[in-house]
């Protein structure tokens, strides 16, 4: 069974530029999460989707961050414009809530804003 | 507010010995879950073990066991027979009815040969 796929793995951009991250969850997983992990800290939830609906986006900085999950499968997280403080690892996770407590994580995208 | 506390920034253990990683939590929820994840240098979060708040027995998964003490609000991870490949960051996390995971700040474990 393929795991959660994320791309790109690494991204370096200048501040004020836009950037987008892509996530393909495990097949059949209806719930998808985006987390941000700052250096030396644990991940923090940005947004949670159940199918195509964003059910928890309370911690998403909506002035510059946006996300979508069209058709309830793949998801894209966008930052526009990026700031220096956005440098972090962006992790995507998925689960099938009716059958598992476990969230399966992808390898993450390491973003560096210069 | 929910909170996870990991007070050990770093730990050393000798290969083949057991090690305990501490985790305490704070919540007013009656129903919650406690998780441990391993994060090697490659960056991926690997699920290790889960304990539900109503589970009476401590969870075990191979060399991993979770020492759950509900009254003390602690959920320590015990790794038996440490291996060199166990060197990594370890995160304790709590999930509530909203299925959001709240993570601690992590403990870096180094296994010495």
Distances, alpha carbon B32 to alpha carbons A4, B35, B51, B52, B67, in Å: 25, 10, 9, 6, 16
Residue B112 has pLDDT above 90, yes or no: yes
Q: Which residues of chain A have pLDDT under 70?
A: 1, 98-100
In this complex, is the C-beta atom of B47 within 8 Å of any C-beta atom belonging to chain A?
yes
Q: Within 10 A of B110 (CB to CB), how many other CB atoms are there? A: 13
Q: What is the pLDDT of residues B54-88, one digit of tens each?
A: 998 999 999 999 999 999 999 999 999 999 999 99
**B43·A101 Cβ contact <8 A:** no
CB contact under 8 A, B104 and A42: yes
């Amino acid at each position: 069974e393929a795991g959660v796929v994320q791309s790109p793995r690494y991204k370096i951009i200048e501040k004020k530029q836009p950037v987008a991250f892509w996530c393909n969850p495990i097949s059949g997983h209806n719930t998808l999460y985006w987390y941000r992990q700052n250096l030396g800290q644990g991940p923090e939830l940005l947004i949670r989707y159940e199918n195509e609906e964003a059910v928890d986006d309370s911690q998403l900085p909506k002035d510059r961050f946006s996300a979508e999950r069209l058709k309830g499968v793949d998801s894209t997280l966008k930052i526009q414009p990026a700031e220096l403080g956005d440098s972090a690892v962006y992790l995507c996770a998925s689960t099938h809530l009716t059958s598992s407590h476990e969230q399966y994580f992808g390898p993450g995208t390491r973003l560096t804003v210069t | 507010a929910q909170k996870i506390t990991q007070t050990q920034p770093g730990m050393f253990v000798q290969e083949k010995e057991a090690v305990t990683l501490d985790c305490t939590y704070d919540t007013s929820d009656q129903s919650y879950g406690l998780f441990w994840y391993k994060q090697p240098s490659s960056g991926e979060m690997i699920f290790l073990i889960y304990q539900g708040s109503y589970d009476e027995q401590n969870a075990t998964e191979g060399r991993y066991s979770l020492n759950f003490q509900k009254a003390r609000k602690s959920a320590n991870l015990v790794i038996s027979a440490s291996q060199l490949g166990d060197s990594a960051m370890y995160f304790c996390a709590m999930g509530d009815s909203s299925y959001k995971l709240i993570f601690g700040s992590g403990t870096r474990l180094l296994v010495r040969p």
